Structures are given as C-alpha cells and as structure tokens.
Amino acid sequence: MRLFKISILLLLITACNSPRAVIDYDQNVEFQQYSTYSVYPELQTGLSQLNQSRLLNSLNSQMINKGFSKTEEPDIYVNVYSTSFERDNRSRVGLGIGGGGGNVGVGVSGGIPVGQMDTYLKLTFDFIDVEKDVLVWQAIVESPFNLKSSPENRQQQLDKIVRKALDNYPPGK
C-alpha cells in the first residue's frame, strides 16, 4: 500500500507540466553591450488584446529585473509571437484481458482516452540588435495554457512563461 501511495505522489508531481524553453543565440555577440530595449514596433503576438497586455506587463517586469531600461532609442528590440495547439492529455482508462495455462500466456489490453485535449501556448521571444538589424538571441517556450482560467491565473501563467524564457539570458559563454 505504501508503494502505491508513493507511486501516485510521483505521478502527480510529474504530471504537472511546467514551461519548457529552448534557447538559441549568436555566439559572436557580447550581450553585456545591451542595456536598453523596446518592444518591436510592429508587434503582432497572435494573442487577444488582454492576454497581449498581460504578456507585455510580464515582459517589462522581467526585462527590468535583468537590468534593462525601456527607451525610445533601444539597443535591442524584443519581438514576441505565439501559436497555440492542442495535445492529447494522456489520461487513459486501461482495459485488459488475459489468460493462460501451463507455460503459455496470452493478453490483450487497450486504453480509452478520458477528458479533452490540453491547450498549449508556444511563445517565441526574439531579441533583435537595432543597429545591425539581426536576431541575436531567441527563446521558444511551450507551456500548457488554460484559456478558460481567471484573468489572475492567466497572468500567473504568462509570468511563468516569460520568466522561463529569460532565465538563460544573457547566455553563458
């Protein structure tokens, strides 16, 4: 019984999806030269106006935490765009039948999906050198995103996504 309880606890811990980030950057760039930023002038995130506002609040807060200041004549532009997709939630009810005798065993099993698909949000953060007009750093973050949650929960979800995206900025050499 104790092993069963531990197994359930581990399942619950691993089932909680946190944002996953993939980072890429130009290895020839000295990132310490960047101290000012602005949001890309032609920003089109693909989010609703309210979610875009939440995203920009999170982004501005995290950029300040990283030591940047926002200005009209920045060193870098920050562009963000999104896509959403649905993924199977992997919840299943298992059914099986088996039998055997002697040294022979036969079994058949299958899983029946339970629940609905999970919605994921994929956000791409681009840092563009204004002077050279080139991409110098990029983070792509995938995270579960509940469009039906409260505004406060959506803000918290976006805060986590932005924090995860900027965790590895500036990149270590």
Domain boundaries in the chain? 18-87+117-173
Asked whether 36 and 75 are in contact (CB, 8 A), the reply is yes
Q: How far apart are CA 137 and CA 130, in angstroms?
A: 13
For residues 76 and 37, is the Cβ–Cβ distance under 8 A? yes
- Nearest alpha carbon to residue 146 among 132, 136, 156, 138: 156
pTM higher than 0.75, yes or no? no
Residue 124 structure tokens: 């791409």
Virtual CA dihedral for 21, 22, 27, 31, nearest 10 degrees? -20
Q: What is the pLDDT of residue 1?
A: 63
Listed range (61-70, 82-91, 128-137) with the worst mean pLDDT = 82-91
Quick check: 64 pLDDT over 70? yes
Instruction: Check residues 103 and 161 and name the one with the higher pLDDT.
Output: 161
166 Cβ contact list (under 8 Å, min separation 6): 62, 63, 66, 125, 139
Residue type, 69: S
pLDDT, one tens digit per residue, over 112-126 is: 655 566 788 899 999
**pLDDT > 90? residue 166:** yes
Q: Pinpoint the alpha helices (H) of the chain.
A: 2-15, 49-65, 151-166
Q: Is the pLDDT of residue 5 over 70?
A: no
Q: Which residue has the higher pLDDT, 59 or 148?
A: 59
**Secondary structure letter of residue 172 according to DSSP:** P
> What is the pLDDT at residue 95?
59
What's CA 69's distance to the chain center, in Å? Answer: 24
Q: Which architecture characterizes domain 18-87+117-173 according to CATH?
A: 2-Layer Sandwich (3.30)
pLDDT for residue 38 is more than 80: yes
Amino acid 14: pLDDT: 46
pLDDT band for position 56 (50/70/90)? Answer: very high
